[in-house]
Structure 1
C-alpha cells in the first residue's frame, strides 16, 4: 500500500470496484457470534417473565398464531422493548467506536464528552418547560445533542480538532450541563420533576412500537452512513498529515463522522433517556475479541446490542418483582468498568 501500513484481511470489491473494503475472517466470525448471542438472549427475554411462555409458543405468537393473550404479551409488550434494546445498543456501540477512533482515546465516548448529557438537557427542557409528549421530548433530545456537539466542536477547534482538546472541553461542558439539569429538576413541579427524573435515569420499561419505529428509521439511515464513512475514519487514524497526503479532506471528514455519531447518540437518548456505559465499553470489548486495530464500527454495534439487551434482561430480574431501569444497572457496571480502565492505563503509564 502507498501508506506503508499493512491492513489485514481480504479485499472485497462491489459495484464494479466503486466500493471496496478489507474484511477479516475473525471479525466476521465474532460479529456473527455476537449477533447470534443477542438474538438468543432477545428470544429468551420474549419467553420469560411474570407470565412465562414456551419458546415454541413465542415463535407462534411472532407468526401471528396461538392464543390472543400470548400474542399480546409477546408482540405488543415484550418485542418492542427487545428491539429497542438491540437498536439503541447498536447505535451507542457504533457511536462510541467513532469517538474513540477520532480521538485515539479509550475514554472518549458520548457519555464522557458531554453529547449524551446535552441530549438529556434538551429532553428535560421539553419535559419541564413545555410538558411535552414523547415525540416532543425526542425532538428536544435530538436538538440538545446537536447544539452541544456543535459547541464542543467549535470551542475545541484550533487549527483543527485534537482528541485531547475535544475530551477536555466535553468534560467541562458535561459538568455545566449536569448543574443545569439539577437546577431544572429543582425548580419544576413535583410531578413534572419526577417524570423528568424517570426519563433521565434511562429506561426501556415503557418502550412502544412508535418508539421502535422512529428509532429504526433513524438508525437505518445513520448506521449504513457510518459504515460507509469507515474508510475515512481509518485514514484519520494514520494522522492528519498522512491522511491529507492521501487526499482526504481531514476536518470535513472529522466533522461528518462526529455529526453521524452525535445523531446516533441523540436518537438513542431520545428513545430511552441517557444510558451510560454501552458506548464506552462496547468498542473496547469488541476490539479485544476481534483483535483488530481499526475502528471496528460494525463489531462495536453488535457488541453494543448484546450488552444492552443483556443489561435490560438482568435489570428486570436482579431484584425479584422489581423492574429496574436499565440505566441504573449500566451506570453501576459502567462506573466499575471506568475505574478498571483508568487503573489499567495508570499502570501501563507507570510501567
Structure 2
C-alpha cells in the first residue's frame, strides 16, 4: 500500500516553480502599470508622473492628491481585489471539477449571490451594506445546496458538481427574472444596475473590506493547494496518497464560494474573469495543475484592463464593468473554440 504523503503548508513547490514565480512577477508589474493608468484616467486627466507624485504626497498638487487618494485609488484597489478573488475562485473550481468551464459564474454560485441581493433591493429596498451581506449569505447557501444535491454515496464528484451547479444556477436565474418583472419600476431598475456589475463610486468602505476578506481567505486556499493539486489526479489516486477527498473538496468549494461572494458583494456580478483568468495563467505557467496565485494575479490584471477599456471606450460611453467583461468573455470563448475546438 502506498504510504500517505505528508501535506504541509511549506510544501508549496507546486506554486513556486521558477517559471510560475516569473509569471507572477510579470503580472504584478503589468497590474501596477494598469493601476497608474487608471489613476490618471477621468475627467481630470493626470500624467503618470503626476499620479506617482500624488501617491507619495509630493509635487504640491493638492487637487491631484484628493482625486487620486479619495476617488480613484479605492476603485483601483477594489478592482484588483475583486479580480484576484475571482481569478483564484475560478482556479479552485476548475481544479476541483477538472473542467475548464468550472467557474462560479457558469455553475450558478454568482447567480445565487445575485438572488440574495435582488431580494434585498426589490422586497426591502435595502442599502448597500445589507445588499452586500445578503449576497454573501445567499452565495454560501447556494453552494451548500449544490454540494448537498451533488452528493451521492458520500461523494460529490467534479463533473456532477458542475452539472448540478448549472441546474441550480438556471433555476435561480429564473427566480431572479420573476422578481425583476414582478417588482415596481424603480426598484427593478436599481436591481438591474446592480446586476450589470460596477466599480463606479467605489470608496474605501468597499475597498478595505474586500482587501481584508482576501487576506483572510487566500491563506486557506494556499494551505490546501497541494491537496487540491493531488485531487486533479482523480479521487482514488488522491485518497491513496493520503488526501481526505470529500473534506478537501468541501473546504475548497466553500473557500472559492467565499471569494466569489466577496467579489460579488464589492462590485456585483462580474463575468469572464473567473473563467479566463486561471486558463490564461495556466498557459503562461505551462503547469499541469491549475495555478492559484498566478490565477489570482491574472484575474486582477484582467479586471484592471477591462476597467481601463470601459473608461476609455471609443464612443465615450462609460460602460459598467460587468458588461465590458461579459463582452470580452464572449470574444474569448469564440477565440478558444475557433482556435483549438475546445475551451
Q: TM-score range by the shorter chain?
A: over 0.9
**8 Å Cα contact 2:336/2:342 also seen in 1:** no
Residues 1:328 and 1:231: Cα distance change in structure 2 (over 3 Å): same
Residues 1:320 and 1:341: Cα distance change in structure 2 (over 3 Å): closer
In 1, the alpha carbon distance for the partners of 2:38 and 2:324 equals 17
* Equivalent residue, structure 2, for 1:10: none
Aligned residue among 146, 155, 172 for 2:140: 146
In 2, the alpha carbon distance for the partners of 1:224 and 1:43 equals 28
Matched, 1:56 2:49: yes
Aligned residue among 83, 95, 102 for 1:101: 95
> 5+ residue gaps in structure 2?
none
* Equivalent residue, structure 1, for 2:64: 70
In 2, the alpha carbon distance for the partners of 1:21 and 1:179 equals 42
In 2, the alpha carbon distance for the partners of 1:155 and 1:215 equals 30
- Give the drift of 1:133: 1.1
In 2, the alpha carbon distance for the partners of 1:205 and 1:293 equals 38
**8 Å Cα contact 1:119/1:143 also seen in 2:** yes
In 1, the alpha carbon distance for the partners of 2:110 and 2:74 equals 23
Show CA shifts across 1:108-159 (max 9, x none): 1001100011011111111111211111111010011001111111101112
In 1, the alpha carbon distance for the partners of 2:102 and 2:257 equals 13
Residues 1:209 and 1:235: Cα distance change in structure 2 (over 3 Å): same
In 1, the alpha carbon distance for the partners of 2:245 and 2:234 equals 9
Matched, 1:308 2:283: no
**8 Å Cα contact 2:9/2:223 also seen in 1:** no
**8 Å Cα contact 1:233/1:295 also seen in 2:** no
SS of structure 2 residue aligned to 1:171: helix
Aligned residue among 12, 34, 41 for 1:21: 12
Higher relative contact order, structure no. (Cα contacts within 8 Å, ≥ 6 residues apart): 2
**8 Å Cα contact 2:118/2:191 also seen in 1:** yes
Q: TM-score, normalised by structure 1?
A: 0.91
Q: TM-score, normalised by structure 2?
A: 0.93
Aligned residue among 314, 317, 324 for 2:312: 317
* Correspondence 1:153-232 to 2 at 5 A: 153-159=147-153, 160-232=155-227
Aligned residue among 280, 284, 290 for 1:285: 280
* Equivalent residue, structure 1, for 2:112: 118
Matched, 1:247 2:238: no
SS of structure 2 residue aligned to 1:20: coil
Matched, 1:269 2:264: yes
Residues 1:185 and 1:18: Cα distance change in structure 2 (over 3 Å): closer
Show CA shifts across 1:145-183 (max 9, x none): 001111111101112111221111111111111111111
Show CA shifts across 1:88-111 (max 9, x none): 000000000000000110011001
In 1, the alpha carbon distance for the partners of 2:201 and 2:160 equals 38
Aligned length: 336
Show CA shifts across 1:276-295 (max 9, x none): 00000001100111100112
**8 Å Cα contact 1:202/1:273 also seen in 2:** yes
Aligned residue among 26, 47, 71 for 1:33: 26
- Give the drift of 1:343: 5.3
In 2, the alpha carbon distance for the partners of 1:229 and 1:238 equals 15
**8 Å Cα contact 2:83/2:301 also seen in 1:** yes
**8 Å Cα contact 1:230/1:295 also seen in 2:** no
> 5+ residue gaps in structure 1?
6-12
**8 Å Cα contact 2:76/2:304 also seen in 1:** yes
In 1, the alpha carbon distance for the partners of 2:315 and 2:201 equals 19
- Give the drift of 1:18: 6.7
In 2, the alpha carbon distance for the partners of 1:206 and 1:276 equals 20
Computed over aligned residues only, the root mean square deviation of the Cα atoms, in angstroms, reads 1.9
